[in-house]
Amino acid sequence: MPTLESLARRRPTSLEVIHQLLSSLVARYRGEEVLTAVRQIPAREANFRPLPSWVTSALAEAYRAKGIARLYSHQAKSIELVRGGANIVVVTPTASGKTLCYNLPVLNAIMEDSDSRALYLFPTKALAQDQLAELQDIGKRLSDSFAVFTYDGDTPNDARKAIRERGNIVLTNPDMLHTGILPHHTKWMRLFEKLRFIVLDEVHIYRGVFGSHLANVLRRLKRVARFYGSDPQFICSTATIANPGELASQLIEKPVEVVDEDGAPAGEKLFVFYNPPLVNRNLGIRRSYINQATRVAKELLAQNLQTIVFVNSRLHTEVLLTYLQQANLPKPGKPDPICGYRGGYLPGERREIERGLRDGRILGVVATNALELGIDIGCLDACVMAGYPGSIASTWQRAGRAGRRSGSSCAVFVASSAPLDQFIVRHPEYFFGRSPEQAHIQPDNLEILVNHLKCAAFELPISPDERFGSVDLAELCEQLGEVGFLDQSGGNWHWIDEAYPADAISLRSVTSDNVVIIDSSGKDNGKPEVIGEVDFSSALTTVHPKAIYIHQGQQYHVEQLDFDKRKAYVKPVKVDYFTDAIRYTEVRVLDIAEEQRIQGPAVRAQGDVLVRSQVVGFKKIKFFTNENVGSGRLELAENEMHTTAFWLTLGHSLLLDLPFSLSQRQNGIFGLLYVLGSMATLLMMCDRRDLGTAIGERPPGAASEIDWEEFATSPPKITQAKEFFEPNLYIYDAYPGGIGFSEPLYRVSNMLLNSTRELIGSCPCEIGCPSCVGPTQEASEGTKEVTFEILTRLTREARLVATRTAETE
Amino acid sequence: MSMRYVSLERVRGLKAFQRSALSRSQGSAGACQGCLSSGTGELPARMRALRNQPDRLAEILGATRKRNQYGDYLSLRCWCAQPARYLPDIAALRLLMAQAPDEIGNPDHWLFLDTETTGLAGGSGTYAFLVGVGWWEGGGLEIEQFFMRECSEERALLLALRERILERPVLITFNGKSFDWPLLETRYRMSRKISVPTPRVHLDFLHPARTLWRLRLGSVRLSELESHVLGWDRGCDVLTDLIPRIYFDFIRGGPPERLIPVFHHNQMDLRGLAALSTRILSLLSNAENLGQDGMELFGVSRICEKQGEHTRARHLYEKSIASFLPRETDRAARRSLARLAKRQGDFDLACELWREAAGNSRQGYEAYEQLAIYYEHKARDTEEARHIVRQALDELGRANQMGDITPAAYREIKARFDYRIQRLERKSRRPLLDLMAPQASRARPTAHDQAARQAGQSAEQIRRRIDGTLTNSSVDEQWPQA
């Protein structure tokens, strides 16, 4: 860890301020490890290359007029590769001029042939708007010799025809491509006939379900392009992840060249990890990270440093905003210097805030991830992150919001007491080293694939020798024919159904089944009002009858869940407890794809499983004290899905060898599952909801021998009553068919176990806390110790090396 | 590696293979109608076997199997004496389409067209499985229907249809502009072989029919129009919503007999369309004598007004008001008549109509407003204008107290009149500017009184800026120069 003195060589303004701030923090909490990392990232010189001679003179002139006469090395490399016909993925941090990597080849192609077309896909509408402004600016300098439009749900109907006919560059999003463009491809004939490029921006967003869907949408797009005789080239860009090439080539199913050098200049940056001090060592409770982040932000703002504060929820945006606005009252006659920015603000408001940030009128902004992606807000001085953004890639993107182009800046990460936050803040080397995060997709997830196959058949008849990736379609078409969606005629499979299949498929989840939440009290206008929705799979745990559903800080009591109509009726209430559903989950192994004996002795494996789950009851838990103040039984439908899982089987001898009591051992197993689940989400860049965990007994057939209901309502009893002989610890994909986490988890299982052990080993709590092995009660003492011991046995070799582990292959 | 996911047992469990609740309920509705077999999703193996009798449909329909370079399709021809051939009046046609070329007047160039499709959503997966065309022949209507027995016959069908369209380039449809024709264009593009046969003119009778009869009938579905306007009775017609399912059942090997009503339905649509076009065009050329009631007259006058035939429109509005009209239509007719009178400078009539119409209704307040505009800007009688605006505000206040007006409408209308009264009050306090403006602008623009004109213009500008008409000018406030 660098000492503070070592930073003192150069002291630009913001560094100086942060330096003072750091000293005061160190002084206040001496003895506690509050600042776990202070890294100075030195300024970097630009690496220039000349503009290649093949760039048309008009375009070169237009860029020169914008002040771009030379290219950064990565830009030059990218455009040369594209010129040579390659599909590329550009991996660069924020503000390194990656848009030029795709705009220049596209515009050059249009200059050479004014009929050339390109399709840009952005994960959000806001990003498309931002790019539109950029392209229009160049367009003006080229005397409007090309047409660029956005095409999304907001595009007025009368403008659509012109866009389809004339747009050289169409900026859209995957959802619109899926429901609006591909099913109507004949109207887009002009575009598809001359489609030269497809630009995929921010591809690291396309992971998990969304990515698996997008890969299939792209399969359809390529089919339609082929129908019109074009074979477009792909240009992708991504934030830093461990496997950019793999992800991009999985998405587009073509070989991809990776450009990952960075020739852009960067200003000096100070990166600080701040762990709020402990207030209760036993329970692992720390000072509120929201308050701590507010303090840091206040001091930065007090020095007149333009600051962005990132929080992870809309609610916290408002909380932090209130604190900061109180501390920075507007000057008479001037607008508020501190603003909020999150989903739910109107587009006009957002544009106003973006402009205010660029021209310096706004000093501070409290934002959610809405401001994380490429939207241009100029260069700020400082960034404070309240809570871990969920992935290293996001963290760097957020930090990149400060000091985009030049000058010095600082980024402060304030950790919450969640396990991931605690792991990251205590293992800075994990963060600052090469990114271990992998983005994975499973385009061949059968549920997703079949849905897109239906759309594909709607778009163009499917010939029997067609394939989606490596999947033969003939057999699936046969099946779809049997249930009456398709009909084989003249050799090809034709869509014969009235429904418009794309409408029924949402790209952002596996099935578009949603449960609508209706406030039946009619407090606003006397009419029942829809206040939100939850996806089908989580409906059972969040809006079961008698649950307390919390929406925008307001509690609602669920009166009725109408499962068939997909509606939940709620009424606002004010109570001092929340509910936690008790779910019974049973996993049965269907097919073992890979299996290997590991240290321990234990076994690691991955394959297909059947997960059956049922919500059998719920607990009422009091706010703040987390006391259990009651419970209830529920009789809800059972949910069954085929999916993929990674699992560990702990050998019987391993458990017998442990110098602990039976109940302690059982607690240790549950603690291990909890912490493995947390760590897996970190490695897989996914949400906690994307992975499910469960314990079962080996042999697989008799997975559930324990009385689950009893276990769920009173955990301590079961630990005395039953003993696992050889437990299986499952981490499964929480989507039917699996979305590609299991195999990568199997591959990195050594890393998973080692990181998990480090997490527990470095947690300062005594008997286990929510930051490591999960919340513990008096009866479950020893959990942390046992968990650590099991992990030690599983990673015996690694203990000897005692350093960070390398990924296993 | 990915192939291991494809196991038949698991495929069947997928949600993607289940039909949505919506299509299930449609299926059961179909069963109630007795038009469909109860099974919707599953296809009994027995039905597939029947597929080996492709000629059976041709047999029972009396259709012929035809063949061209792209393969086979079915063609069914018939001739009907009703409706009889009609020679349209080019003037009437130009009321519907101002820039129509001359050949539109020749009925031998006309081709009536109607399609039956596999869905209403559109998009590239919707097929037009039955396309009917009709043309005048032998004093009556000759109908030809093209049918594809399976999807692979589509190209042959499209090629045959293309020839018909090229023979008769004036396309006549009902809602064809937004439905049938774009769908056929999509089909031609999907074929990748056959270019789209672009008709010379495309006349869609949906919009004139809507103008003429929507007020009376509420809906302007072709079958409604037939029974109420033409006095026809289709008898037991197949429900439009069921047509796709009937075709799908046939494709899956169902009995071909069920398609007979679909062919019949398509023929009836074509005959209805031909008869309707005759009815509409004869009304347009001679509404004075043929109009059955005031409503039709009112419709024709609206069409005339839209095409700029103001004199005829005015005459017809007057005629329609003179005959019996329901209250709402009567109001609308009077409002239009007042608009035309104003446009033609007949303010006596316009004022009379506005005074009659003034009252507590949206049109009533509009009439008050028109009157106020007239007195303020045209008659330059500020006092009267103020009087009228006050009347309107009184009326509004009463209606609000009695609860005869919705709060939102009250607020909106009140704001408009409040604004107007404020302006009028201001105006009455500065008569000089008002006097200067008209005098100056009336002055003859010679070189000598350049200065006077400029003064007048600036006075006018000041006045208008105060009035707010400079920035806020609406069509209603622009007056024809006498």
What are the tens digits of pLDDT across the range A442-469? 888 888 899 999 999 999 999 989 999 8
Pairing of strands A467-468, A364-367: unpaired
A446: nearest CB among B5, B23, B127: B5
pLDDT at B438 over 70: no
User: pLDDT, tens digit, for every residue of A232-255?
Assistant: 999 999 988 888 999 999 999 999
How far does A497 lie from chain B, in Å, by closest CA?
A: 7
How far does A736 lie from chain B, in Å, by closest CA?
A: 9
User: pLDDT, tens digit, for every residue of A78-120?
Assistant: 999 999 999 999 998 776 788 899 999 999 999 999 999 999 9
Taking contacts as CB-CB distances below 8 angstroms, the residues of chain A near B4 are 591, 593
Q: What pLDDT is stored for residue A207 in this prediction? A: 85
CA distance A711 to B229: 75
Q: What percent of chain B has pLDDT over 90?
A: 28
Taking contacts as CB-CB distances below 8 angstroms, the residues of chain A near B3 are 470-472
Taking contacts as CB-CB distances below 8 angstroms, the residues of chain A near B157 are none
Is B4 an 8 Å CB contact of chain A? yes
Tell me the residues of chain A between 108 and 147 that have a Cβ less than 8 Å away from chain B: none
Helix spans in B68-117 (H)? 90-96
Q: What pLDDT is stored for residue B449 in this prediction? A: 52
Do the Cβ atoms of A458 and B123 come within 8 Å? yes
Tell me the residues of chain B between 150 and 179 that have a Cβ less than 8 Å away from chain A: 150-153
Search chain B and give the residue with CA nearest A504: B20
Q: Is the CB of residue A128 less than 8 Å from the CB of residue A172?
A: yes
A471: nearest CB among B2, B124, B192: B2
Per mean pLDDT, which range of A17-31, A476-490, A607-621, A777-791 is the poorest? A17-31
Q: Which of A325, A320, A352 is nearest to A338 (CA)?
A: A325
Domains of chain B: 53-285 (3.30.420.10), 286-344 (no CATH)
Q: Which of A736, A768, A729, A734 is nearest to A752 (CA)?
A: A729
Q: Which residues contact A241 (CB under 8 A, 6 or more apart)?
A: A91, A204, A247, A393, A435, A437, A438, A439, A685
Do the Cβ atoms of B151 and A454 come within 8 Å? no
Q: What pLDDT is stored for residue B2 in this prediction? A: 36
A444: nearest CB among B5, B12, B122: B5
pLDDT at A755 over 90: no
Give the mean pLDDT of B28-51: 41
Q: What pLDDT is stored for residue A222 in this prediction? A: 96
User: pLDDT, tens digit, for every residue of A645-659?
Assistant: 999 998 888 888 888
Mean pLDDT over the full length of chain A: 82
Half-sphere exposure of A429 (CA within 13 A, CB side): 7
- The fold for domain A5-32+266-432 equals Rossmann fold (3.40.50)
Angle at A199 between CA A195 and CA A200, to 5 degrees: 135
Return the amino acid letter for B273. Answer: L
Distance of alpha carbon B466 from its chain centroid, rounded? 42
Do the Cβ atoms of A498 and B245 come within 8 Å? yes
Give the mean pLDDT of B211-228: 81
pLDDT at A495 over 70: yes
Do the Cβ atoms of B20 and A504 come within 8 Å? yes
Do the Cβ atoms of A460 and B20 come within 8 Å? no
Tell me the residues of chain B between 88 and 127 that have a Cβ less than 8 Å away from chain A: 118-125, 127
Q: What pLDDT is stored for residue B144 in this prediction? A: 96
User: pLDDT, tens digit, for every residue of B360-409?
Assistant: 888 888 889 888 888 888 888 888 888 888 888 888 888 888 888 888 88
- Report the DSSP beta bridge partners of residue A529: A519
Return the amino acid letter for A108. Answer: N
Q: What pLDDT is stored for residue B23 in this prediction? A: 43
Please tell me if the domain spanning A5-32+266-432 has the same topology as the one spanning A48-259: yes
pLDDT at B296 over 70: yes
Search chain A and give the residue with CA nearest B248: A496
* Radius of gyration from C-alpha coordinates of chain B: 31
Tell me the residues of chain A between 680 and 739 that have a Cβ less than 8 Å away from chain B: 736-737
Q: What percent of chain B has pLDDT over 70?
A: 78
Q: What pLDDT is stored for residue B266 in this prediction? A: 95
CA distance B28 to A198: 45
CA distance B101 to B89: 13
Predicted TM-score (pTM) of this structure? 0.78
User: pLDDT, tens digit, for every residue of A61-86?
Assistant: 999 998 899 999 999 999 999 999 99
- Top CATH class, A48-259: alpha beta
DSSP SS3 for B242:
helix
CA distance A327 to B420: 47
Per mean pLDDT, which range of A264-268, A794-798, B227-231, B396-400 is the poorest? A794-798
The separation between the first and the last C-alpha atoms of chain B, rounded to the nearest angstrom, is 85
Q: Who wins on pLDDT, A273 or B30?
A: A273
Residue ranges per structural domain of chain A = 5-32+266-432, 48-259, 446-504, 514-575, 584-801
Per mean pLDDT, which range of A247-261, A374-388, B18-32, B173-187 is the poorest? B18-32
Do the Cβ atoms of B118 and A496 come within 8 Å? yes
- Work out the pLDDT band at B275, boundaries 50, 70, 90: very high
Q: For residue A699, say if its preceding peptide bond is cis, omega within 30 degrees of 0.
A: yes
CA distance A797 to A729: 21
How far does B253 lie from chain A, in Å, by closest CA?
A: 11
